[in-house]
Structure 1
Amino acid sequence: MTSDGRRLRTCLGHFATGVTVVTCDIDGVPHGATVNAFTAVSLDPALVLVSLHRESRAARHLDGRPFTVNVLGEGQDALARHFAGRPGSAPPRWVRTGTDRAPRLAGSLATLACTPWAAHDGGDHRIFLGRVEEFDHRPGRPLVFYRGEFRRLGPVPVRSLLTSGVQEGNTA
């Protein structure tokens, strides 16, 4: 990576992201990769995007396969590290149901089960669009990635909610 590439990566690291693990099934064996390049694309049809380095094993696995985006919650740092290539002592716990298109991780804050929609060239990355077929979520706070470290969101002060005009049930 060039000096400019490192500087750009540092600059981009100032954008806080959520942390996901994208999972798929290869011949009955679950696989996953920690990904922070994830975003919603469309509500109609329901599409999401994940971006993976084109030389990664995960990019080869995902091509043309159903996948699940597992949004991690605070306290799931070890799980994120596991799928980033630094496994800990506890193996991940998988959840499978009869309708799963791809395996899901137990305890995820949210899951989005997707079928392949499209894949595109993205320079040194591959961009995968998935059509959301099933989704679920639970209460909790997300795990956040910022400037090369996992972080947690602090509590939102009630005063800031009141002064910003956001009221319960009104997010516009």
Structure 2
Amino acid sequence: MHHGSTERHVGRDTYREVVGRFATGVAIVTTRLDGIDHAMTVNSFTSVSLDPLLVLFCAEKVARFHDAVLEAGVWGVSVLPASMEDASRFFAHRGRELDGQLDRWAHDRGESGVALFTDALATLEARTTAVHEGGDHSIVVGGVTALGGVVDGRPLLYHQGGYKTL
């Protein structure tokens, strides 16, 4: 098996290039705290366990979303179709106005009160069960409390620093 060149120096740029070769799906994680919606684009969403049903995502500690989701303790995940690249870009942008930020995209409220995007390929809701240290991020693990919205469609993917689809 051929492995290409091996970079001995482990630095940020090389790290980004290496992990960027792993294609991921894209999701928007949402939470609601004190009547205010918070949302963040992630490509770090992962299924963890079938027994019990657990999922995780990673939240950057400096992001507003980090403290909001930890305090709220509940969150939603909307798995994005290729048609929602605009939403992915919007919710990846830091420091945007929170008020009315969801208005451009159709959404409903889940059982926990979090926003779930109507056009998502699938949605789920979770309640935080553990938060682990992860350098400049926190690894947020949650028990799944609701599943829904499963539809067929082309997924939005992230690979080598850009959006792709199948």
TM-score, with length taken from structure 2: 0.83
Task: Give unmatched runs, 5+ long, in structure 1.
Answer: 154-172
Aligned-partner residue type, residue 62 of structure 1: V
Question: Deviation digits for residues 39-83 of structure 1, max 9, x if unmatched?
Answer: 000011000010111211121111142000110011110010110
Answering whether residue 19 of structure 2 is matched by residue 12 of structure 1, we say yes
SS at match of 1:61: helix
Q: Secondary structure at the match of 2:119?
A: coil
Pairwise CA distance, 1:101: 4.2
CA RMSD, aligned part only? 1.9
**Which has the higher Rg, Structure 1 or Structure 2?**
1
Residues 77-88 of structure 1: matches in 2 within 5 Å? 77-85=85-93
Q: How is 1:25-36 mapped onto 2 (pairs within 5 angstroms)?
A: 25-36=32-43
Once the two structures are TM-superposed, the CA of residue 93 in structure 1 deviates from its matched residue by 2.6
Partner of 1:121: 133
| Count of residues in Structure 1 that have an aligned counterpart in Structure 2 | 149
List alignment gaps of at least 5 residues for structure 2: 1-9
Following superposition, the deviation at residue 24 of structure 1 comes to 0.2
Tell me the residue number matched to 1:75: 83
Correspondences of 1:1-172 after superposition (within 5 Å)? 4-64=11-71, 65-85=73-93, 91-97=104-110, 99-136=111-148, 137-153=150-166
For 1:11 and 1:80, the matched residues in 2 are separated by 22
Q: What amino acid is aligned across from residue 139 of structure 1 in structure 2? A: D
Query: Which structure 1 residue ranges, 4+ long, deviate > 6 Å from structure 2?
Result: none
The offset of 1:91, in angstroms, is 2.0
1:15 is paired with a residue whose SS is coil
